[in-house]
Amino acid sequence: MTTNHQADSRQVSAHPQKRRRRLLVFSLILVLVLTWFAPAIVAHCFLRNWLIREIFSDLQGSITIGRASVGWFSPVVLEDVEIQDPSGKRLATIPRLESRKALLRLLLKMSDIGSFRLEKPLLEVVFDGEKSNLEQVLASWLAPGHQTASVKTAGVELEVVEGRVSIEDRDAQEKWELHPLELSLTLPRNWSGPMQISMRSPFADARQPGRFEGDLLLERTANAAGAIFSSGNVDIRLDALPIAVGQCFLRRAVPVQQLGGKLSGTVQGQWGADDAGRPVFNLEGKLTGDGLTGTSPWMEGDFLRLDHLDFPFHVAATGNRLRLERAEVLCDLGQASIVGVVDTDKLNIASLARSRFEAGADIDVARLANLLPRTMHLKHGSRITSGKLHLDLSSSSGPERSGVSPTYHKWQGKLQTSDILAVNDGRPIAVREPIQVDFAAHEPSKGLPVIDRLRCTSSFLKVEGSGSLERFTATATYDLNQLTAQLNQIIDLGAIQLAGRGSSRWEIRSQENGHFAAQGEGQLQQFQCTLSGGRPWIEELVTLRLDVTGDKAPEGTYRFDLGNLQLTSSTLNAQAPQSDDSRGSRTPARVDPTSPAGIVA
């Protein structure tokens, strides 16, 4: 009896244990089944779009995935991926995106996610005014300070096959297309090697197809303090690229309209740091433009047309020193060039004026005037048939005297026009005395800048000046009647009328301690000015007298103390009396050439 009761008790207690084992086995099987089918479940329900939106939550727009094929031991395949801008319009579509690695390998090693292949993607970029739909979608990522510099990145490879990029400029009502675009990107884990990007694509154009090719290599390393250093090189090759594409970006800085023509050439660049840790870069190449056209609102309806333009250049920098090794422009209108060195540490009027450079230009005035008749306000029926303009300008530093260490800066320049001939309704016109300007100046280590030579000759203006550290004198004669008469032959002055003759004389005395004094007087006889058809301003005699004293401060600023300014005429008598130090009424002016705009305070 007791034995049977004990057996029944063991049998009853065994049933719950079996049920628990069965429940545990069932639960494990269920978990395994759910785990096995989890990728497929996510791929075939709303979770796939929810998950992609969470991953790209900073994207200003939306991403949807049409179909997905995901398995633990098979590659991830996404089909009909579409990216929309904030207004719901399509920005990009990817018919098929496939990973080379299986999902399990991706999750087990997120630091090296491997390669992805994008087949026939389409990117539709629309520029409207000063914005684009691509910038709107990436606004959060493009914002300053969004991403911090780091060398910790996942390794990834990207391959784009038969891609297509559509660029639309709604303001110009033009559209361009790159197709088929081939692109590859390789980024090793944690920047253990250089990032490499290679891009090749024709530029679709029924009249003259173009082509773009580019290669970029970028390396990033961190020093012991955690500072990030970048180095690399870029190589770009262009062949008949439509220059009108550039107006989408140029109009944000300058008011350009309806750019046309083709751009070809090569550009190579390298950047990094020297042994002292200073940033260095080198950029050189040659760009060629053919059939260039363009206009701007200030050109008053004129179109600038150039058959051919060459722009060879070479720019290098070490630290804050920028070197223009070569920069030339050669085109139908003439040529211009500049070489020199600029200190970029403090970009202001003073530093630019004291930079070392040589610049020159030769311009065909006749061709320029005939291309831009409205801009230059040529009279109807007038045409400039011949004319040249030549410019030379240099800025350099050197010792003040032989064997003396203090240095000074010097400037030299020359501007002249020649062979100016024109026709007005069949009547030939010749400019008797073309404009010629010649000057030389220097700035010693102490004292004011000295104008060593100043000469200007023309039929309406003559200026003669020369001086030394202690004294500079200049005289000028001007004839507004002659100026108006010459311009009126070919230039439409509208309602502007000027008349009068005059002369002036100026003198500046300075000392080595920086103190200076300036005196001058000028007069204008039979003065007449008419603007916009209004009432003419007529004066028999206008005189101006000025006395100024001041000092040059050690930091390079100039202090002007107004002594006496007097302007008199038959209808006007204005005078600024000499200031009185004893009453504390002096209000000096200070000119700071080291400020960005040389502000007068």
pLDDT one-digit tens code per residue, 177-226: 999 999 999 988 887 889 999 999 998 776 778 999 999 999 987 655 56
Do β-strands 450-457 and 436-443 pair in parallel, antiparallel, or remain unpaired? antiparallel
The residue ranking higher by pLDDT, 32 or 280, is 280
Residues 68, 191, single domain; the answer is no
Domain count, the chain: 2
176 with 248, same domain?
yes
The answer to whether the beta carbons of residues 223 and 208 sit under 8 Å apart is: no
Q: Is residue 157 part of a domain?
A: yes
In a domain, 540, yes or no: no
- In this structure, the answer to whether residues 297 and 230 fall within a common structural domain is yes
Helix (H) or strand (E) holding 215: strand 210-222
The answer as to whether 401 is a domain residue is no
Cα–Cα distance measured from residue 593 to residue 601, given in angstroms and rounded to the nearest whole number: 11
CB 556 within 8 A of CB 527: no
- Give the DSSP letter string of 65-83: EEEEEEETTEEEEEEEEEE
Tell whether 192 and 85 lie within a shared domain: no
Residues 197 and 107 in one domain: no
Which band of pLDDT confidence, cut at 50, 70 and 90, is reported for residue 601?
very low
Please state, as a whole number, how many other Cβ atoms lie within 10 Å of the Cβ of residue 422.
23
Checking if the pLDDT of 19 tops 80, the result is no
Does residue 305 share a domain with residue 218?
yes
> Which secondary-structure segment (H or E) carries 366?
helix 365-371
By residue range, what is the domain housing residue 99?
Answer: 41-114
Same domain (yes/no): 214, 269: yes
Q: Considering 98, 114, 130, which residue would you say is the last residue of a domain?
A: 114
Of the three residues 94, 114, 134, the one that is the final residue of a domain is 114
Question: Are residues 196 and 267 part of one domain?
Answer: yes
Q: What is the CA radius of gyration of the chain?
A: 37
pTM here? Answer: 0.80
| Token pair listed for 363 | 């311009």
Residue whose entry in the numeric block shows the structure tokens 């104008």: 451
Q: Is 245 within a domain?
A: yes
Q: Quote the distance between the C-alpha of residue 91 and its chain's center.
A: 27
Question: Does the structure show a pLDDT above 60 at 18?
Answer: yes
Is 486 within a domain? no
The answer to whether position 344 is within a domain reads no
Check whether residue 220 and residue 305 sit in a common domain: yes
If residue 18 lies in a helix (H) or strand (E), which one and from where to where? helix 2-43
The Cα–Cα gap between 331 and 337 comes to: 12
Q: pLDDT of 90-109, one tens digit each? A: 999 999 999 898 878 877 88
Residue recorded with tokens 């003669």: 464
pLDDT in tens, 363-391: 999 999 999 999 998 988 889 999 999 99
**Is there a domain that residue 274 lies in?**
yes
Clarify whether residues 79 and 169 are in a common domain: no
Q: Is residue 422 part of a domain?
A: no
The answer on 176 and 284 residing in a single domain is yes
15-35: b (≥16 Cβ within 10 Å) or e:
eeeeeeeeeeeeeeeeeeeee
User: What gap in Å lies between CA 246 and CA 534, rounded to an integer?
Assistant: 44
- Among 292, 318, 344, residue at a domain's last position: 318
Instruction: Say whether both 186 and 279 belong to one domain.
Output: yes
